A and B are shown apart, each in its own frame.
Chain A
């Protein structure tokens, strides 16, 4: 059984479009994250939710809007896509707000043309 899953795995779209990436975890965790991995493989936190409450919101354009319908899901919606948004986006989850191990999804490779 997949612990943290993301859909789609690949997303190719035109500039200016709006797209969403979905994330689900079946680990029973209450904290979920979005990370962005750029073309140089550098990973950086974007958002974190704990029990559907936004607790981390790093310097990310407001075109990116996370949505957590319940604690098992954290979706990422991106408006007006730009070339620079091309990257791999990883969802992760952990238990609690403490220093628990974060488990990652398989990543979504977004390509903006």
Chain B
């Protein structure tokens, strides 16, 4: 079974500092996508960043970047210059083949609650 593990249930960071959220996954597939989603108190699920497994270059979106280590099955998220608006639950997700023919589905980790402290 495909699993996604986020080992840090809660983290905090000072405003303007850098924080790294960890994620590991387990799969036997070679072609897949990985995602980080953010869920602020508003409850909305917001895509932060995505990484295609076949790409060696780590994805970057403004202050957000990932460290993708395919052999180690690790996909950490680095947030630079943390802002108060970054306070949220962060979910790592792995795109896997679904139970239906030709389907794909997201498998989520249990989330990391990040608090940015002024």
Contact = CB atoms under 8 A, between A and B. Distances in A.
B47 A90 contact: no
Given A104-B45, A109-B43, A57 B104 contact: no
B110 A42 contact: yes
A42 B107 CA distance: 10
A113 interface: no
Which of B33, B44, B45, B91 has most chain A Cβ within 10 Å? B45
Contact of B98 (A44, A45, A104, A109): A45
A90 B93 CA distance: 15
Contact-residue size bin, chain B (C-beta under 8 Å from the other chain)? 20 to 34
Contacts of B1: none
Which of A40, A104, A107 has most chain B Cβ within 10 Å? A104
Nearest to B39: A41
Contacts of A54: 100
Interface of chain A, helix or strand or loop or mixed?
strand
B103 interface: yes
Interface string A66-101: 000000000000000000000010101000011101
A99 B33 contact: yes
A27 interface: no
Interface in B15-47: 31-33, 35, 37, 39, 42-47
Contacts of B91: 43
Interface of B: 31-33, 35, 37, 39, 42-47, 50, 52, 89, 91, 95, 98-108, 110-111
